[in-house]
Amino acid sequence: MNRLRADLLLLLTAAIWGLAFIAQKIGNESLPPMAFVGARFLLSAIVILPFALGEARKAERPLQRHDVLTALIIGLLLFVGGALQQIAMITASATHGGFLTALYVVIVPFAMWILTRERVRPFVLIACAISIGGAWLLTGKGNAAQGWHTGDTLLLVSDVAWAFWISLIAVFLKSTYRPFFLALTQFVVTAILAIGASLVFESPTMTGFETALLAILFTGIISGGLAFTLQIVAQRYTPPAEAALIVSLESVFAAIAGAVWLSERLTPLALTGCVLILMGVIVAETGPTLMRRFRAAR
């Protein structure tokens, strides 16, 4: 696979994840958040299991202890990010969910610095300032259509988990290319933790599962089993920061989907905030390249 195909897979992933915000909102109407997260990722694990077993039979070398440990940590981060996001979607709109989740892209370079000591680029600081300004406009200060809710804050907190999640995936793939093992492991860890949390803190009903079935099927099979795995496969060929940039376009798809299916609207100021967030994402990744070309042209 070349870089172009990998980037197209990431774009497809972004589109699927953008639509998934609609399914998550619908799921919250019938099920408590942890029950929904547990159900969707349990289904994702079942879908990916045959591929993981086939991959294991063809593997050239056995997994090392640090590979398994890294995969477990990635699963823990997926649980934290997914759980906070699902809880947030109780009060946050699908549009806000997509755009605020996209902010994790500017955290990825800092996460990579912590994990690999890769230096943070100056343009990232500019991107952070632009994106924070955009997030402010999405609040009541920016007169967003539905104001700022607790869920919006939880989405910002989940960005840290998403940033380290996508960064650790890059670290794992440099050590060993076992995408289906990684996908299965993160799904199983997330499902176990979410189901455990649901049994302790929630009281889901069978009727709730039946009502949310379509949302579970979409997020479990399409968003989970397919899109999460595509993202892992593509990250072998696309660096984590660039991958985060492409995947963050889920915010655009979430906004479109929210307008079409949930009749969500943004005021002009809030829409400006969305544009600023996307500008921050773009600056974080294209700024250094443009500067190098400008210096070379002088």
pLDDT for the residue 294: 62
Does residue 18 or residue 103 have the better pLDDT? 18
Is pLDDT above 80 for 288? no
* Angle subtended at Cα 113 by Cα 108 and Cα 117, rounded to the nearest 5 degrees: 155
Q: Which of 21-25, 117-121, 195-199, 267-271 has the highest mean pLDDT?
A: 195-199
Tell me: pLDDT of 174 over 70. yes
Say what the alpha-carbon torsion angle 233, 105, 242, 43 is, to the nearest 10 degrees.
Answer: 10
Mean pLDDT over the full length of the chain: 84
Confirm if 120 and 289 have CB atoms less than 8 A apart: no
Q: 110 vs 280, which has greater pLDDT?
A: 110
| Average pLDDT of the residues in 195-221 | 95
Taking 70 as the threshold, does the pLDDT of residue 206 lie above it?
A: yes
Best-predicted range by mean pLDDT among 58-62, 105-109, 176-180, 187-191? 187-191
**Contact present, 153 and 161 (Cβ < 8 Å):** no
Give the model's confidence band at 260: pLDDT under 50 very low, under 70 low, under 90 confident, else very high: confident
Q: What span, in angstroms and rounded, lies between the C-alpha atoms of 122 and 268?
A: 30
**pLDDT class of 282 with cuts at 50, 70, 90:** confident
Per-residue pLDDT, averaged over 231-251, amounts to 81
As a whole number, mean pLDDT of residues 204-224 equals: 95
Q: What is the pTM of this model?
A: 0.83
Contact yes or no for 41/220 (Cβ under 8 A): yes
Handedness of CA 4, 283, 73, 78 (dihedral sign): negative
Q: Token pair of 246, please?
A: 């492409």
Give per-residue pLDDT as tens, 29-75: 999 999 999 999 999 999 999 999 999 999 888 899 999 999 999 99
